[in-house]
Amino acid sequence: MTRQVLTDSFGRRIDYLRLSVTDRCDLRCRYCLPKGFKGFEEPAHWLTVDEVARLVQAFTLLGVSHVRLTGGEPLVRRDLPLLARRLASLPGIEDLALSSNCTRMETLAEPLFRAGVRRLNVSLDSLRPRIFEQVTGGSLELVLRGIEAARRAGFSPIRVNTVVMRGVNDGEIESILEFCAERDFTLRLIETMPMGRTGQAVLAEYIDLQEVKQRLERRFELIPDILPGGGPARYFRLSASATRIGFITPISQHFCATCNRVRLGVDGTLHLCLGQENRYPLGALLRAGLTDDELIDQLRAAMALKPEQHGFRERPTQVPRFMAMTGG
């Protein structure tokens, strides 16, 4: 087959796939999964390594070159290094990245790097152990050890993702920025999103990141910058340094007009928008015996369902699924 281009109904080129390898997680972040949640997909319904590789290969034939492994928490999937190695070897894959909470990275950093994963986004919402535990239910020390293991293994760039919550961690943004600057990490601040009842429950903690940016500008000179492969963040560089900070603002300043991504759930459900319910059953169709040509046709058909934009601000309660069920 000839390598082609995948576009949606609005002319946006889709070249980025976020691939959920599991919907399970070993943390319970207050904006993502509720404590005691048991409604995970059965492992028997997860796509196998061969099925994932076949789907991703179909995407690459339509011009998708950037794949990010997500969850839930991807490190809880036992065959993740094997899966990563298969994907890294596929023709057309130019960038294989990982989003993780790094709780298990001490043992998995080197195997994943050897498998071909190079870029890492780390979820880190606080540098205060008590606040970190309140937000995630986990151990800050374990996560910091995991981040250091990833740095030693060679992951680069490493980007720290911080969901900013008013009255919770908004007072320590400068400290997290200094932590990143000391290690040559990029900090990305993220607005809370009303995904599922957990995300909707923390709407009272929502903070417009323009407010945070204005506060930082009183201390730092922020110079507009561009970061290749930086996703939807608007980036700035701190004057007289190489330190970058990005602002991901799905509520206050959405970036739907330039959206270049789709999300594949662990069972093969294709989610066309994080903030809408538009989906397509690729996994079920794959297991029904589609040929490669038919699979390509189905991917093209799915793009017709990708909406023009989300409705987080206008309809904040419309998305019942939790973030972990979507693939980040």
pLDDT of residue 322: 55
Q: Is residue 7 a part of any domain in this protein?
A: no
Q: Is residue 5 a part of any domain in this protein?
A: no
Bridge partners (DSSP) listed for residue 234: 247
Own/partner contacts of 252-259, CB < 8 Å, gap of 24 or more, are: 252/191, 252/208, 252/209, 252/210, 253/210, 254/309, 254/310, 254/312, 254/313, 256/308, 256/309, 256/310, 257/12, 257/309, 258/12, 258/232, 259/12, 259/232, 259/306
Bridge partners (DSSP) listed for residue 67: 17, 96
Q: Please give the backbone phi and psi of residue 274, each rounded to the nearest 5 degrees, phi first.
A: -65, -35
Looking at residue 286, its amino acid is L
Q: Cα separation of 19 and 266, whole Å?
A: 8
Confidence of residue 314 (pLDDT cuts 50, 70, 90): low
pLDDT of residue 258: 87
- 261-264 and 269-271 strand pairing: antiparallel
Domain count, the chain: 1
Confidence of residue 270 (pLDDT cuts 50, 70, 90): very high
For 40-64, the pLDDT digits (tens) are: 888 889 999 999 999 999 999 999 9
Q: Is residue 1 a part of any domain in this protein?
A: no
Q: What is the mean pLDDT of residues 223-241?
A: 85
Q: Is residue 143 a part of any domain in this protein?
A: yes
Q: Please give the backbone phi and psi of residue 69, each rounded to the nearest 5 degrees, phi first.
A: -80, 125
Distance of CA 280 to the CA centre of its chain: 20
211 close to 170: Cβ distance less than 8 angstroms = no
**Measured CA angle at 307 (ends 230, 62), to 5 deg:** 60
Confidence of residue 33 (pLDDT cuts 50, 70, 90): confident
Q: What is the mean pLDDT of the chain?
A: 90
DSSP 46-79: SPPHHHHHHHHHHHHTTT--EEEEESS-GGGSTT
Q: What is the mean pLDDT of residues 321-325?
A: 60
Q: Is 42 exposed, middle or buried (0-12, 13-18, 19+ CB in 10 A)?
A: exposed
pLDDT of residue 171: 96
Q: Cα separation of 18 and 232, whole Å?
A: 13
pLDDT of residue 3: 57
Give the position of tokens 């937000």.
135
Q: What is the mean pLDDT of residues 275-294?
A: 90
For 66-90, the pLDDT digits (tens) are: 999 999 999 999 999 999 999 999 9
For 101-112, the pLDDT digits (tens) are: 999 999 999 999
pLDDT of residue 321: 57
236 close to 222: Cβ distance less than 8 angstroms = yes
Q: Is residue 9 a part of any domain in this protein?
A: no
Q: Which residues neighbour 173 within 8 Å (Cβ) at sequence distance 6 or greater?
A: 162, 164, 189, 212, 215, 216
Q: Is residue 159 a part of any domain in this protein?
A: yes
Q: Which residues neighbour 313 within 8 Å (Cβ) at sequence distance 6 or greater?
A: 251, 254
CATH number for the domain harbouring residue 274? 3.20.20.70
pLDDT of residue 106: 98
Which of 35-39, 125-129, 319-323 is predicted least confidently? 319-323
Q: Cα separation of 180 and 85, whole Å?
A: 29
Helices (H) and strands (E) in the chain, counts: 11, 12
pLDDT of residue 129: 98
pLDDT of residue 226: 85
- 158-164 and 95-100 strand pairing: unpaired
For 111-135, the pLDDT digits (tens) are: 999 999 999 999 999 999 999 999 9
Confidence of residue 196 (pLDDT cuts 50, 70, 90): low
Q: Give residue 283's domain range.
A: 16-326
Give the full edge-to-edge strand order of the sheet including 269-271. 222-225, 234-238, 244-248, 186-191, 158-164, 119-123, 95-100, 66-70, 16-20, 261-264, 269-271, 279-281
Q: Is residue 139 a part of any domain in this protein?
A: yes
Q: Is residue 200 a part of any domain in this protein?
A: yes
Q: Which percentage of the chain shows pLDDT scores above 90?
A: 72
- pTM for the complete prediction? 0.92
Helix (H) or strand (E) holding 263: strand 261-264
For 145-192, the pLDDT digits (tens) are: 999 999 999 999 999 999 999 999 999 999 999 999 999 999 999 998
